[in-house]
Amino acid sequence: MALSFIEGNEAVALGAMAAGCRFFAGYPITPATTIYNAMLTYLPPEGGVCLQGEDEIASIGYCLGASMAGNKVLTATSGPGISLYSEQISFAIGSEIPLVIVNVQRLGPSTGSATKGADGDIQFMRWGSSSGLPVIVLAPVDVADCYRLTAHAFNLAEQYRCPVFLASNKEIAMTRESIDLDAIQLPDITTRKAADRNKPFLPFATGSEDTAPNFLPIGDRTLVRQTSSTHGVNGYITVDPDEINAFQNRLEKKLKAHVDEFTFFDRDLDPQARTLVVAYGVTARAARVAVATSRADGKPASLLTLKTLWPVPERLIIETAAPYDRVVVVEMNMGQYVREIQRLLPGKQIDFFGQMNGNLIKPEQIREVI
């Protein structure tokens, strides 16, 4: 076994390169900057482009332009940058522009603490755009996940033509870990489906009411239109309520109806347990230790680690939680995803432990709650 010693951000860059990323743009911000550094090392020598934007709005704008030219694109920032991305994210959602966004979360609110971790943007990533339409959010637990889930994020962005977030955290992104990169299985690469050039091209036409439109790049032989305005299948403004309705429903359904196909998770279940711990991100690692100690102490417990956070993998959560009386949700914030768990499991006792003080939640703290 030969191990490499890399941080989560470097693993993200390697995952992106493996997935066929051709374009990166970002604005330096701790703790996401090292993704930019790595992409600047990897992309240009291989014919790709890496740009430093004059601000976050520009950085994601460059990505949207390049994505519409057919490139697989990546940007990376932290909470303050996600705020500035917001309107462009709405654009990417509504106009179905594939894009991977790494949010290396840091302690907020606002400027907060650049070098302290938190998972404070979990609801923000889901709801921080106008319209409230869904996005995909994947949450890595460790460096291996940064590598693997980034590759999946690209595939999902291509398949569903939407922004896909990687909800990283300073504690994963800037922690170096030994890792056997060769032992990690990456998914086969997916590329957005090309539209049939022999038929008249309608940029937003789909074969069904829950899929993304087929793609042609701007610059193709066939003329391509992209617009941030409310559009019909032809890419021109529409005011027809039925057409608008069908379009909004499709944007909602194309992700929510398919979440079972991209529900990533880990489960460590104990048939004797009455308590299920639910965690995600770096906190899941402390939860693993806590569950193991609890078992060793004669108090069995189970653990569900969610790696797909949005759309909420409802079936997985409901089925996994079914045999338990009590669910303990642990998060590095004041209580965000627990709202989803409460919504899905109304009959159960749901306890929450959260902390947002810049420190990792310790296994002993979780052990006490169990």
For residues 192 and 95, what is the distance between their CA atoms, to the nearest angstrom?
A: 14
Stretch that binds another protein, among 161-169, 176-184, 243-251, 309-317 (CB under 8 A): 176-184
**Nearest approach, Cβ of 4 to another protein (angstroms)?**
4
CB 302 within 8 A of CB 286: no
**Nearest approach, Cβ of 49 to another protein (angstroms)?**
5
Residue type, 244: I
Q: What residues from 72 to 91 belong to the interface with another protein (CB under 8 A)? A: 73, 87-88, 91
Q: Which is nearer to another protein, 176 or 253 (CB)?
A: 176
CB 46 within 8 A of CB 23: no
For residues 88 and 84, what is the distance between their CA atoms, to the nearest angstrom?
A: 8
Q: What residues from 91 to 110 belong to the interface with another protein (CB under 8 A)? A: 91
**Nearest approach, Cβ of 117 to another protein (angstroms)?**
10
Burial 118-147 (b: 16+ CB within 10 A, else e): bbbbbbbbbebbeeebbbbbbbbbbbbbbb
Stretch that binds another protein, among 186-194, 214-222, 295-303, 328-336 (CB under 8 A): 214-222
Q: What residues from 258 to 297 belong to the interface with another protein (CB under 8 A)? A: 282, 285-286, 288-289
Q: Which is nearer to another protein, 108 or 235 (CB)?
A: 235
**Nearest approach, Cβ of 57 to another protein (angstroms)?**
6
How many Cα atoms sit within 13 Å of 86 on the Cβ side? Answer: 14
**Nearest approach, Cβ of 339 to another protein (angstroms)?**
26
Q: Which is nearer to another protein, 259 or 294 (CB)?
A: 294
Please count the other Cβ atoms lying within 10 Å of the Cβ belonging to residue 115: 11
Q: Which is nearer to another protein, 42 or 165 (CB)?
A: 42
243 near another protein (CB under 8 A): no
Report CA-CA distances (Å) from 42 to 12, 23, 37, 92, 180.
12, 11, 9, 25, 20
For residues 114 and 164, what is the distance between their CA atoms, to the nearest angstrom?
A: 23
Among 32, 138, 167, 181, indicate the residue that binds another protein (CB under 8 A): 181
Q: How many residues bind another protein (CB under 8 A)?
A: 76
Give the CA radius of gyration of the chain: 21
Q: What residues from 146 to 175 belong to the interface with another protein (CB under 8 A)? A: 171, 174-175
For residues 50 and 74, what is the distance between their CA atoms, to the nearest angstrom?
A: 9
Among 83, 123, 191, 222, indicate the residue that binds another protein (CB under 8 A): 222
Q: What residues from 324 to 353 belong to the interface with another protein (CB under 8 A)? A: none
Q: Say which residue the tokens 């005011």 belong to.
A: 239
**Nearest approach, Cβ of 155 to another protein (angstroms)?**
20
Provide DSSP, 90-134.
Answer: HHHHHTT--EEEEEEEEE-STT-EEEEE--TTHHHHHH-STT---
Stretch that binds another protein, among 159-167, 220-228, 249-257, 324-332 (CB under 8 A): 220-228
Among 30, 37, 83, 263, indicate the residue that binds another protein (CB under 8 A): 30
Q: Say which residue the tokens 């489960």 belong to.
A: 267
133 near another protein (CB under 8 A): no
369 near another protein (CB under 8 A): no
Q: Which is nearer to another protein, 138 or 282 (CB)?
A: 282
CB 204 within 8 A of CB 233: yes
